Chains A and B, each alone.
Chain A
Amino acid sequence: MTANPNLLKGNLDLILLSILERTEMYGLEIIKEAQARTDGFFDFKEGSLYPALHRLTEQKLLVAEFKYSPRGGAPVRYYEITDKGKKTLTEKRAEFQHFNQNVEALWSKS
């Protein structure tokens, strides 16, 4: 089972900031990390990943830099979360948990 595209799209910033919270990564690594951590539930396709990374960079939540990958080849663009990004992640995580708790409350009280 993979994520509902609308849910994925609606929470893309939270997902990307969460993945980049620990270490810097480039696009392909982010895709693989998302798949690995969620057993393939998050599968980025349809061009959603790169525009989102660029948007977060424009918003200064991420910084990006071309670096050589350990795998060799041409330099790839690594993304790293900024302090502003970390703060936003904390806020978004709290928002999501709050929302989630309330949805679950609806089910438990029905």
Chain B
Amino acid sequence: MTNLEQYLRNASRGTYGKTRALIRTELEANIRIRGKELEHNGLTETQAINHALEELGAANQISTGMTGVYTMPKITVAAIPTAFALTALVIALSISRAQVETTVVGTVAECDFKNTKTQTMPCALEANWLKLSSFKTELEKAGGTLEVIPDGFNLQFPGDRLVKVNGSPTGTPENQSIDFKQNGEIFFPTLYVIGLIAEKSNLPVKLEGYINPRLTVGSTKIDFAGNAPVKTTMFRFMNIQTQLQNDLKNNGIEFSATRDCTNMTIPRLFICSAPSEKTHHIKVNAPQGTIFASLEQRNNKSFSMDIAAVNSNGMLEMKLASQTAYFVNDFKKLKTGQGETILLRLTNRIDARAKQYEIAELPKNLISTAK
């Protein structure tokens, strides 16, 4: 799909039939005339059209304006008996355009987190598979687009720029490359797709929920769930690393890129869970579902981390290296093997422009002992 076609689609969204056709025809004619002018200034046809689109401004503002002209008046004059019903209809329409929630079914190939000898990063990331046709259906309902191309797919959330997700058409369920195909359906790693959206989107991107998360891109919400829980543990570990590395560096703390969690293909900060770790139950003042990460300096340049969500009792169940953990609120106070631990409260923002965690505020001198 060309940028022009994409623009026309977005600009005419929310209008139907002849009105939609009229808007598209009018815009296209004006854009092409402007494009021809720009070609005379030395731009290629593609460059000229893209420039003309930029001059015209955001497509979604046109669609919002046009919806106001053609769609909303029809709602207000509709024969709805009560003001309550009218209000309900307007609310329903606004939700269906801007905040569609959806369930995307993924097939699951679980990784064994306990077997750190064989665990690899791709396995961890690909534990959940996104059924692309389902994602496309729900994204389009929300006003976005998804188009499969020979080397992956392009997607666009309403008001956002195009995001390309690279794939490989050669994958099979037994031998996955990036994506794979089964019974005519294409599957991509769910968290790989979410990660790319977070990286490339122009809009604020949030991921809420420890399992079966909700992705919010701008004002569009997509729920992920499947025939087994969609787990975000590894994704969240990876996602906070850049900020964490900077925070540690800014506090004069070095870390090593060598990991004892084998086969990790990227530098990691944390040591994978091991039998020697102790289970702690930590009371925190945060709503159920709030996600925290723990960070301990385990030995020189090596850290241990865990991630957990607050349970219904207001507790975090975390695996820590120490029998007794002493919670601190400053990276500088982390000391080798002394049980000092920092709790990081995740903000759920996963795009690089935002703070992805903040140091949790805990009661002074909080100590936890493993049972």
Residues of A that sit less than 8 Å from B by CB:
26-28, 45-48, 50-52, 54-55, 58, 66, 69, 71, 73-77
**A-B pair number, CB within 8 angstroms:** 74
Q: Is the CB of B55 within 8 A of A50?
A: no
Known contacts being A45-B56, A47-B58, A54-B70, is A71 close to B65, with CB within 8 Å? no
- In contact, A27 and B30 (Cβ under 8 angstroms): yes
Q: What would 20 more interface pairs be, CB under 8 Å, given A54-B70, A69-B33? A: A45-B55, A45-B57, A46-B58, A47-B11, A47-B58, A47-B59, A48-B61, A48-B65, A50-B23, A50-B27, A50-B62, A50-B66, A52-B65, A54-B66, A55-B68, A71-B36, A73-B36, A74-B28, A74-B29, A76-B29
**Residues in B lying within 8 Å of A, measured CB to CB:** 11, 22-23, 25-30, 32-34, 36, 55-66, 68-70, 73
Contacts of A58 in B (CB 8 A): 69-70, 73
- Taking a contact as CB atoms closer than 8 A, the residue among A27, A47, A71, A77 that contacts B61 in the complex is A47
What is the bound-complex CA distance between A63 and B98, given in angstroms? 32
Residue A73 contacts which of B27, B29, B56 (CB distance < 8 angstroms)? B29
In the bound assembly, the distance between CA atoms of A54 and B14 in angstroms comes to 15
Q: Is the interface of A mostly helix, strand, loop or mixed?
A: mixed
A74 to B27, CA, bound (A): 11
Contact of B65 with A28 in the complex, beta carbons under 8 Å: no
Chain B residue numbers with a CB within 8 Å of A47 are 11, 56-65
User: Could you tell me if A28 and B61 are in contact, using CB atoms closer than 8 angstroms?
Assistant: no
Q: Is the beta-carbon distance between B69 and A55 smaller than 8 angstroms?
A: yes
Q: Does A26 contact B30, Cβ atoms closer than 8 Å?
A: yes
Residue of B nearest to A71 (CB): B33
CB neighbours (8 Å) of B58 from chain A are 46-47
- Enumerate chain A residues within 8 angstroms of B27, measured Cβ to Cβ: 27, 50
Q: Report the bound CA distance from A52 to B57 in whole Å.
A: 15
User: Of the candidates A51, A71, A73, A74, which one forms a contact with B68 in the assembled complex, judged by CB atoms under 8 Å apart?
Assistant: A51
In the bound complex, what is the Cα–Cα distance between A76 and B60 (angstroms)? Answer: 22
Q: Which chain A residues lie closer than 8 Å to B29 at the CB level? A: 26, 73-77
Do A73 and B33 have beta carbons less than 8 Å apart? Answer: yes
Q: Which residues of A contact B28 (CB under 8 A)?
A: 74
Residues of B within 8 A of A75 (CB): 29
Distance in Å from the Cβ of B261 to the closest Cβ of chain A? Answer: 49
Q: Can you give 24 contacting A-B residue pairs, CB < 8 Å?
A: A28-B30, A45-B57, A46-B58, A47-B57, A47-B58, A47-B61, A47-B62, A47-B64, A47-B65, A50-B23, A50-B62, A51-B66, A51-B68, A54-B70, A55-B65, A58-B73, A66-B25, A66-B26, A73-B36, A74-B25, A74-B28, A74-B32, A77-B22, A77-B29
